[in-house]
Chains A and B, each alone.
Chain A
Amino acid sequence: MDHNNSNLKTISNLLSLATDGEINDEQFKTLKTLLKNKTAREHYYSLVNIEVLLRDSKEVYEENQESPITKGLLHELAEYEAIAPAIEIPSEKPPQKKKKLSKFNTVSLIMSTAAVLIVVLFLKFYSNPTTHVDVATLIDQINPQWAQYNDNMQIGNRLRTNEGPLELIEGVVKIHYDDGVSVLIEGPTVFSIERVGIYLEYGQLYSRVPETALGFTVTTPTSQFVDHGTEFGVQADVNGSSELHVLKGSVQLFAGSKGKARTGKMVTEGEAVRYDANREQIKTIPVEKNVFVQNVNSKTGTVWRGQKVIDLADIVSGGNGLMTTTQQQFIYPKSGIVSHEFESKDRVGDYTYHPVDMSFVDGVFIPSADEGFPKVTSAGHEFKDCPSTDNTGREMFNTSYYREDVDCYKRCGNPIFHLELKELKQHAIFMHSNVGITFDLNEIRAAHSYGSIKEFRTGILFNRSRYDRMIDFWVLIDGQVRYQKTDVRGSDTISPIQVPISKQDQFLSLVVTDGSDDVSGYGWGFFIEPVLVLGDE
């Protein structure tokens, strides 16, 4: 009986080695010999059944999420370390030769039959058809196009484990797990929800994992990324290769086909790696900080890829501050009218603040103190330091879209002015004295809730062609002067400005007025790369 028990234990040990591909030829022969006995075989089949069923019992592990790796567990392992008899363990073997049709060669599968890929995916997820656990919510999506079999996906839908693959053909969706993890997924992507993670068949996603949810795992056909308190992006190709970009914290990567000895690497903040499934190699690559979608807001149409600034010149052109605009437009300070066509309009102000029908822009005005302090916000804030001016002002625009066919520029006829506009093709607001524009900070905060506004930053420049002129630049917060530079000349270089902004500040106004030379006309001022700088949420 002892001999039989000993054989059964040996079978158990050899099966364990064989399961992981760690058994050598001699041990395999031993196992074959032992299995000539019927009793031994019956025991062996039962052990294999246990293995097969344990891989299929995910709901039990899902219930057990809270158990940490305890000292008791380590002690249990260490006990065996002390008393286990020696058994030959082969040293780590080199990877097996790649088969013609490997498990993860999904391109071959697709070529052999188009339906196999989906069949494989459904098999993975329907292995426990009666076990579904609600773990997450679809909380936002922008321009989503889902596959036909997922076409009931709506904001607010609860997402469950074991409910089949989700195929996002295009667009961006945001999923929030009950434990606090948020995941941004950009199509084309096929994925499925897991209890403490997400399976990514192919496509790309970005995860933000709070410290209370460590261990969140992104799995691809050939890799596993285990979070250690992070923000990271994962991209998986159809051929099994994948990339990991870690923007905060660290992530443990396990790469390689399941069941084989896998390669591991800890990837930390600011690092990125690519796993090449064909060569089975991990390679360091440059980290991409602004490629993955990190947040979305369907109410404002904002898709944020980690940019740390909101561009006000983009907003002047009708964008949302994330370089989304594609058009030129002119804002007229006398009336608040926004037009795509340049028109020579009556420029004399009426001492009135004019709301503008645009996102993020509160209003515009022609500053003059001749009839009292001018109002510079819709809340009635007054510009008490406003100088006296000639009360004329002209259109404002984003110089990124300088157009040679626009009559103003031809009539100006000043080659240096044209050159400057061309040079300043990126991110400048052209403001000819005397004009002011006010941005609604609360509306900007609501649309860009992924960060808090910390400061306003820009460079000011007066058109170099007018050495005889002077203009004044002002930056106001709620009507109060936070920055002024008077009598800026064409000969001056760009002056950088940084104005801190607190959570209580509601409106930011940019103003250009005539200088103390009291000469109007040709007061061509530029706010260069005017941005609101974001800090962490």
Chain B
Amino acid sequence: MNGNNNHIYPTEESKRFVALLLPIQNKLYAYINYHVPSKNDSDDILQEVIATLLNKFNEYREGTDFLRWAITVAKYKILSFGRDNNRRRILFNETDMDQIQIEVMSHVNSLDEEKERLKKCLKKLPDKQKTLLKLRYDNEMTYRQIAKQFNVSMQSVYKTIARIHETLLKCINKSSRFGESYGPQ
């Protein structure tokens, strides 16, 4: 067994980069995921985007919109991914992407607010539903793995979780209209 001797310390530049990236990381990821629904593909594209942003960080002008710049890079990474995969794994072509840009950015920018509402809605879920979400999102189990663990079909797993998603979505939408008192029934 060999240990690793590549000790890597954060530079001042990388710390600045992280400080800019962290607040928009979820938004960047959501943008990618809208166009590329596979989690694994989105993860890979996000890695490539981050690597490109870091490599080109000296081109970024302090004070300008970092998210906008990141999304510009992400758009081209997504299109490049689409070309490499014969457009089989991305949902929108370049023309479509331009046409839906406004609605996409609207949902990207609503993410922070939805996050706070989601936290409150999650706390109202019954424990067994939280447990299922924990398996899926904290333990990062696939639907297939959860199905195998409980000896049920994959279909019943993702449909159950989809139902929980719908409940949470309703809760988030209601609380945005009427405030905190609404939650899953």
Contact = CB atoms under 8 A, between A and B. Distances in A.
Interface of A: 9, 12-13, 15-23, 25, 28, 31-32, 35, 38, 41-42, 44-61, 63-64, 67-70, 72-74, 76-81, 84, 87, 89, 92, 96, 99, 101-103, 109-110, 112-120, 122-123, 126-127, 129, 147-149, 167, 169, 187-190, 202-204, 217, 224, 226, 235, 237-238, 243, 254, 257-262, 264, 288, 291
Nearest to B128: A73
A19 B33 CA distance: 9
Interface string B53-89: 0110000000000000000000000000000000011
B44 to A, nearest CB: 5
A20 B18 contact: no
Contact of B118 (A57, A63, A116): A57
Nearest to A109: B51
8 contacts: A12-B162, A13-B158, A21-B41, A45-B34, A67-B127, A129-B22, A224-B140, A226-B139
A92 B144 contact: yes
A187 B5 CA distance: 10
A254 B92 CA distance: 33
A119 B54 contact: yes
Given A50-B168, A117-B8, A70 B40 contact: no
B155 A77 contact: no
A42 B139 CA distance: 29
Contacts of A204: 1, 3
Interface string B90-117: 0110000000100110010011001100
A503 B39 CA distance: 57
Given A67-B130, A102-B44, A49 B30 contact: yes
Contacts of B172: 50
A118 B14 contact: yes
Given A45-B103, A74-B150, A103-B40, 20 more contacts: A20-B39, A54-B136, A58-B138, A76-B132, A84-B156, A96-B40, A112-B51, A112-B55, A113-B54, A115-B10, A115-B54, A116-B54, A118-B9, A127-B22, A148-B9, A188-B3, A202-B4, A203-B3, A204-B1, A243-B1
Contacts of B54: 113, 115-116, 119
A287 to B, nearest CB: 12
Interface size class of B (residues with CB under 8 A): 35 or more
A57 B119 CA distance: 7
Given A47-B165, A60-B130, A115-B13, A16 B25 contact: no
Contacts of A243: 1
A44 B37 CA distance: 10
A433 to B, nearest CB: 47
A257 to B, nearest CB: 6
Given A87-B155, A89-B154, A48 B143 contact: no
Contacts of A257: 40
B81 to A, nearest CB: 10
Contacts of B48: 101
Nearest to A258: B140
A48 B39 CA distance: 10
